[in-house]
């Protein structure tokens, strides 16, 4: 591999866990030193200076190099909402993994597109077919733990500001979309899906 890589590790909610740039010359590596528990994690690989951003800016600062770091930028810990894209995209790459296994390709993932205020489209994939999923909204991210009901103890990637269950919709065959009218109060807020039964949660997506 001849291009300058960066590696990033994110949890299932899209929050940053670990980052390394230039572990060996221009190539990168990650260990498990910042992984506190088993679960679903996502690996991001990008060219130098194409950096992940959270709602408040970069999730990791640009320096120091050659040091594995937990999120330390103004946008820490996330969730990931964008890439700075200030560098070329890179090229072909290979990853060597140890002590982990592949999960469901893509995981339980949601995204939101459209114009806010106005019509927005919520899309999801990787859900369990023929279940119900709750659309949970909050104005901020965080680590809210559901206090009761069938999903008691489940931790979300949302905070408590304007936290509410917006609606419940079927997962269909595991992927799909729904349109909704988003008012001003929803703009730049956050949405996460949770399946019932099972209480699996998706990533956190930001309303445009």
Neighbours of 120 (CB within 10 A): 20
d(CA 182, CA 170): 20
- pLDDT on residue 71: 95
Three-state helix/strand/coil letters over 86-120 = CCCCCCCCCCCCCCCCCCCCCCCEEEEEECCCEEE
pLDDT for the residue numbered 104? 46
Residue 73, pLDDT > 90, answer yes
pLDDT (tens digit per residue) in 78-91: 889 888 876 556 77
Q: What average pLDDT is seen over the chain?
A: 86
Q: 105: pLDDT confidence band, cut at 50, 70 and 90?
A: very low
Phi, psi of 182 (to 5 degrees): -100, 125
User: With a threshold of 0.75, does the pTM exceed it?
Assistant: no
Q: Which domains does the chain have, with CATH numbers?
A: 1-103 (no CATH), 109-206 (2.60.40)
Residue 109 has pLDDT above 90, yes or no: no
When mean pLDDT is compared across 2-16, 28-42, 48-62, 116-130, the lowest value belongs to 28-42
- Decide if pLDDT at 65 tops 60: yes
Checking 184-187 for CB contacts under 8 A at 24+ apart, the result is 184/116, 184/117, 186/116, 186/117, 186/137, 187/116, 187/117
Give the pLDDT of residue 29: 84
Cβ burial 151-167 (10 Å sphere, 16+ → b, else e):
beeeebbbeeeebeeee
Whether residue 27 is predicted with pLDDT greater than 80 in this model: the reply is no
Q: How confident is the model at residue 100 (pLDDT cuts 50, 70, 90)?
A: low
Q: Give residue-wise pLDDT tens across range 38-62.
A: 677 889 998 888 899 998 999 999 8
pLDDT recorded at residue 72: 95
The proportion of the chain whose per-residue pLDDT surpasses 90, expressed as a percent, equals 37
> Which of these, 157, 155, 161, lies nearest to 185 by C-alpha position?
161
What is the pLDDT at residue 101? Answer: 53
Instruction: State the average pLDDT over residues 143-153.
Output: 91
* Structure tokens, 131: 């279940």
């Amino acid at each position: 591999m001849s291009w300058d890589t960066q590696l990033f590790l994110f949890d299932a909610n899209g929050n940053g866990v670990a980052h390394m740039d230039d572990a060996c010359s221009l190539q990168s590596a990650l260990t498990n030193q910042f992984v506190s528990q088993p679960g679903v994690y996502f690996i991001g690989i990008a060219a130098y200076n194409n950096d992940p951003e959270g709602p408040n800016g970069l999730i990791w600062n640009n320096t120091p190099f050659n040091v594995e770091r937990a999120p330390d930028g103004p946008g820490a810990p996330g969730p990931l909402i964008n890439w700075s894209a200030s560098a070329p995209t890179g090229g072909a790459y290979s990853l060597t993994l140890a002590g982990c296994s592949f999960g469901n390709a893509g995981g339980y993932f949601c995204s939101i597109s459209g114009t806010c205020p106005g019509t927005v489209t919520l899309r999801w994939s990787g859900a369990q077919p023929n279940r119900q999923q709750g659309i949970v909204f909050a104005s901020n991210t965080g680590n809210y733990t559901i206090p009761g009901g069938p999903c008691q103890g489940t931790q979300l990637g949302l905070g408590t500001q304007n936290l509410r269950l917006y609606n419940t919709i079927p997962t269909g065959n595991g992927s799909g979309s729904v349109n909704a009218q988003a008012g001003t109060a929803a703009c730049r807020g956050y949405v996460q899906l949770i399946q019932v039964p099972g209480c699996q949660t998706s990533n956190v997506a930001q309303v445009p």
